[in-house]
Structure 1
């Protein structure tokens, strides 16, 4: 299923995924999943995806795909996945409008 209104992959995140995928010889496809745990209840998990599953939602930016499973999609609907570089380092960041609380590390949230 493809739904471009549900989640967004920023151009900077797409460029970083493309770079990582090329270095690893894999498709330019980032999987975003949500797991229980982390300091605020849920945590984001990222990884390069080899394929798209039947229940996945897929959005594309600059030829790079962002893949989210149907269970995780409920928790990240409306999100923007970005890649930010700062003095503190560089990392993927999820801007989640559904989160009512987060943690200092930015990888954990509560709804």
Structure 2
């Protein structure tokens, strides 16, 4: 059990480490929440080279995830996972705060 406000699964940590290592100069995956999407909010994923002053830094198995303080309000209690199945590969956020989500898996409402 962890006290971290957001957790990262082992499969997500492995994939993040692969992505970041393949992009010279980049150090982390930034996950943020933006207004928009078919359910009101959407997740955005960016590979970045530096962290911001207000970022939560999550380190696991050689991977680093950054979440800004505003996005953290919407993501507290979530798990970042990476799924590889017949439908394809994608990062998925298991967010207990979301009351509805879209079939695309990246849009949600609170």
Q: Please, what TM-score do these two structures have when normalized by structure 2? A: 0.93
Q: State the aligned residue count.
A: 109
**CA-atom RMSD in angstroms:** 1.4
CA distance in 1, matches of 2:3, 2:52: 17
Unpaired segments of 5 or more residues in structure 2? Answer: none
CA distance in 1, matches of 2:35, 2:82: 23
In the other structure, the counterpart of 1:17 is 16
In the other structure, the counterpart of 1:81 is 80
Deviation at 1:8, TM superposition (A): 0.8
Deviation at 1:4, TM superposition (A): 5.3
Q: 1:11 to 1:27 in 2, by over 3 A?
A: farther
CA distance in 2, matches of 1:10, 1:110: 23
In the other structure, the counterpart of 2:5 is 6
Q: Please, what TM-score do these two structures have when normalized by structure 1? A: 0.92
Once superposed, which parts of structure 1, at least 4 consecutive aligned residues long, lie more than 6 Å away?
A: none
